[in-house]
Amino acid sequence: MKRDPTPDLPPRLNESGLAIQPLYTAEDLEASGGLAMLGRPGEYPFTRGIHALMYRKQPWTMRQYTGFGNAADTNARFKYLIANGQTGLNVAFDLPTQCGLDSDDPQSEGEVGRVGMAIDTLRDVEIAFDGIDLEKITVSLTINGAAAIMIAMYLAMAEKRGYDVRKLRGTAQNDILKEFIGRGTWIFPVEPSMRLVGDTIEYCAKHAPKYSPVSVCGYHIRESGATPTQEMAYAFCIAKAYADEVIRRGLPVDEFAGRLSYNFNIFGNIFEQVAKFRAGRGLWAKIMKEQYGATQPGSMWLRMIAGGGGGGLTAEQPENNIVRGAYYALISALSGAQTMALCCFDEAYTIPSEYAQRLSLRTMQLLIEEMGLTDTADPLGGSFYVETLTNRMRDEMERIMAEVDADGGIVRQVAEGRVQSQVSAQAYRRQRDIESGALRKVGINCYRSDEAEPERAVEFHPYNEADARAQIAAFARVRAGRDAAAVAQALARVSADARAGANLMPAVVEAVKAYASVGEITQEMVKVFGRYREPVRF
């Protein structure tokens, strides 16, 4: 019989709803399933890491989310970050581009180049990456609704620069199901959206086999109100839906699964976060091996970018965000992430300044150079607490996934707005808990310093209407200079292939090479697919 040493302590639950004991021992670990799912780094089930030597061989890639104004502005910021030691790029597009609209569309008014860079045609993509070595610096495109077009533009740009597309590495976010849950840059209804994701995976598997066409995002689901275990469970359900879509087309699992990647969030309890990633790695490997019959280790790897933490940052006492960011980076390193990006301390209220972005980079570099985070793989492995929590959280993730599957599956749940409703109800409870003080948030409901704080001169990213007009003028010049007949023919093929049910990527690639615009190509697809209508459900 186990003796509870602290019967009088009030219970403490983590965000995923699991009770946390004041002490963990070998008995607790055994009761949770022991070390059956542990293994060694680089070996199935990869709980301890997907590579044997982890950061000893190569530290994580540093990839701050960046982009604003036009392609030339963004190119300059890219080069600044690379000069400061950044090892990858994470591209922010403006909302018109993300929603498949050209800069001169009436709906784009006031939004061109505001929260990311404006892209109308291949010409802008050429400028954005000019002078950047695409073999040394891998590029991640944060684009979803318009992902097929942006992948085509990126591959076309690389090909024009003389790179062998078959060897080109890089990532597109291209996770449309989570856009319906949170983030909201959807364009087409759910079904054709799924088809487009399938088209990109299939096309890349055949033509750009090193390229990662999808990065499944638990990140934004968490931002929308999901718990850490829901974040992983929903992401896995979504990844499985994409896998099913391409397997249905006859593509063997080992031909594409190795290029699926993930994007996860970090904020909140340190140990819950580390356990989340370790649990997720083991669970994903098990799913791919046992449910999908994957045989290549790469197909079972949970490759991930982890960091961000936007939901944890506060507009109050923004300097605290520098400290929060440092802890989030530590968590990411302790969790064995392949790539790291941190939200900047000023990101709770503006597009990050150059200064804030450099500080985020330095935060990661400090961990590598001074703090010993790259010395050994999975440094928390073997802790009674972390291992027990890892087991418990994996069980919880499996339970949530089974619940989703039993209730119509993730695609249907998203299409009906049910996941959205669930996470939004949780976000509401969380906000109420913060306001009541039940959930402690430093600078908001405790340790406020209203009187002491001077009226701060906050630096905001300037938005310039003239830049938007310049972008529209540049687009007009490209339009005037291109071969109109070739454009018309390429665009006609896009809608024809959409109607015929063919893989759309070859037609899209042809269209972008003719300098057809994001908006024009999207419009061809809309003719066939229609537009998404958001189910408003509370």
User: Which positions lie near other proteins, rule CB under 8 A?
Assistant: 95-96, 98-99, 101, 107-111, 114-115, 179, 182-185, 223-225, 314-316, 348-351, 424-425, 427-428, 431-432, 435, 444, 458, 460, 463, 534, 536, 538
Closest C-alpha to 117, from 84, 77, 85, 149: 77
3-state secondary structure of 325: helix
Residue among 111 and 202 whose Cβ is closer to other proteins: 111
Which secondary-structure segment (H or E) carries 123? helix 122-128
> Shortest approach of other proteins to residue 318 CB, angstroms?
11
Which secondary-structure segment (H or E) carries 216? strand 214-217
Widest distance between CA atoms in the chain: 82
Residue 1 burial (C-beta neighbours within 10 Å; 0-12, 13-18, 19+): exposed
Residue 450 burial (C-beta neighbours within 10 Å; 0-12, 13-18, 19+): exposed
> Shortest approach of other proteins to residue 408 CB, angstroms?
22
> Shortest approach of other proteins to residue 441 CB, angstroms?
10
> Shortest approach of other proteins to residue 490 CB, angstroms?
26
CA distance linking residue 439 with residue 489, whole number of Å: 58
CA distances for 279 relative to 3, 17, 291, 320, 460, angstroms: 28, 16, 17, 29, 39
> Shortest approach of other proteins to residue 488 CB, angstroms?
28
Closest C-alpha to 181, from 243, 234, 232: 234
Residue 108 burial (C-beta neighbours within 10 Å; 0-12, 13-18, 19+): buried
Residue among 269 and 445 whose Cβ is closer to other proteins: 445
Residue among 25 and 431 whose Cβ is closer to other proteins: 431
Closest C-alpha to 311, from 202, 482, 434: 434
Q: Give me the amino acid identity at 214.
A: V
Residue among 159 and 433 whose Cβ is closer to other proteins: 433
> Shortest approach of other proteins to residue 498 CB, angstroms?
22
**DSSP notation for 148-197:** HHHHHHHHHHHHHTT--GGG--EEE---HHHHHHTT----S-HHHHHHHH
Beginning with the edge strand found earlier in the chain, give each strand of the sheet holding 339-340 in spatial order: 61-62, 339-340, 304-307, 260-265, 214-217
Residue among 32 and 420 whose Cβ is closer to other proteins: 420
Residue among 296 and 431 whose Cβ is closer to other proteins: 431
Q: Reduce the secondary structure of 463-501 to three states and give it as a string.
A: CCHHHHHHHHHHHHHHHHHCCHHHHHHHHHHHHHHHHHC
> Shortest approach of other proteins to residue 98 CB, angstroms?
8
Residue among 95 and 491 whose Cβ is closer to other proteins: 95
> Shortest approach of other proteins to residue 223 CB, angstroms?
7
> Shortest approach of other proteins to residue 536 CB, angstroms?
5
Residue among 280 and 310 whose Cβ is closer to other proteins: 310
3-state secondary structure of 366: helix
Handedness of CA 100, 105, 111, 116 (dihedral sign): positive
Residue 227 near residue 15, CB atoms below 8 Å: yes
Residue among 266 and 393 whose Cβ is closer to other proteins: 266
Residue among 113 and 307 whose Cβ is closer to other proteins: 113
> Shortest approach of other proteins to residue 409 CB, angstroms?
23
